[in-house]
Amino acid sequence: MATAAIDAGAALQTPDGATIADSAATCVGTFNAFLTGNVLPADGGDAESSAWAEEQMARFSIWAANLGVFARGHASADYRLRDSDEVCSLILQ
């Protein structure tokens, strides 16, 4: 069965045009940059902050999977929440 593409007008977007999936992908990229040492906290970072970031990334990944953030077509959070501007706005904050 083929999955339908999400209509660009169906998903709520941030002022810069980002969808829930776009915003979540940015978060994943930021986690990865931090964990690979490309972005360090102001205090220089340590093993404790790295462990904390790994745990938060794992929690974020579980949340994103449960919500269907990166799913395609009608299974995606953007599609399923297309008529709920308030919920989309809360997620995109």
Looking at the structure of the chain, the number of domains it has is 1
Residue 4: inside a domain, yes or no? Answer: no
- Domain-located, residue 69: yes
More confident residue, 49 or 10: 49
| pLDDT surpasses 90 at 75 | yes
Residue 75 lies in a domain: yes
What is the reported pLDDT for 13?
Answer: 58
Is the pLDDT at 92 greater than 70? The verdict is yes
Work out the angle at residue 8's Cα, subtended by the Cα atoms of residues 21 and 10, and round it to the nearest 5 degrees: 90
Residue 76 lies in a domain: yes
Reported as a single tens digit per residue, the pLDDT across 12-58 is 555 566 899 999 999 999 999 888 876 655 665 577 778 888 999 99
Average pLDDT, stretch 64-93?
94
Asked whether residue 14 is domain-assigned, the answer is no
Distance CA 17, CA 27 (A): 16
Where in the sequence is the domain holding 67, given as residue range(s)? 20-38+45-92
The overall pTM is greater than 0.75 = no
Q: Is residue 32 part of a domain?
A: yes
